[in-house]
Structure 1
Amino acid sequence: MLYAVIAHDSTDPGTFERRMGVRPAHMANGEKMMADGSFLFGGGILDGAGKMTGGVLIVDFETREEVDEWLRSEPYVINKVWDRVEVHPFLVPPQFLGLFPKYQEQPVAG
Structure 2
Amino acid sequence: MNQYLVIAYDFTDDGALERRMAVRPAHLEGTRQLRQTGNYILGGAILDDHGRMIGSTMVLQFDSDGQLEAWKKQEPYITQHIWEKIEIRPFKVAGAI
TM-score bin, normalised by smaller chain: over 0.9
Please report the TM-score for the alignment, with normalisation by the length of structure 1: 0.82
Superposition RMSD in Å: 1.2
How many equivalent residue pairs?
96
> Could you tell me how far apart the structure 2 residues matched to 1:15 and 1:86 are?
19
**CA separation in 2, counterparts of 1:92 and 1:24?**
27
Q: Say which structure is richer in strand.
A: 2
Q: Which has the larger helix fraction?
A: 1
In structure 2, the gaps of 5 or more residues are none
> Counterparts of 1:16-35 in structure 2 under 5 Å?
16-35=17-36
Structure 1 unaligned blocks of 5 or more: 97-110
TM-score by length of 2: 0.92
3-state SS of the aligned residue for 1:28?
Answer: helix
Secondary structure in 2 aligned to 1:94? coil
In structure 2, C-alpha distance between the alignment counterparts of 1:15 and 1:65, rounded to whole Å: 29
Structure 2 Cα separation of the partners of residues 55 and 20 of structure 1: 13
Larger-gyration structure (1/2): 1
Task: Point out which structure has higher relative CO (alpha carbons under 8 A, 6+ apart).
Answer: 2
Measured after TM superposition, the shift of residue 56 of structure 1 is 0.5
Equivalent residue number for residue 55 of structure 1: 56
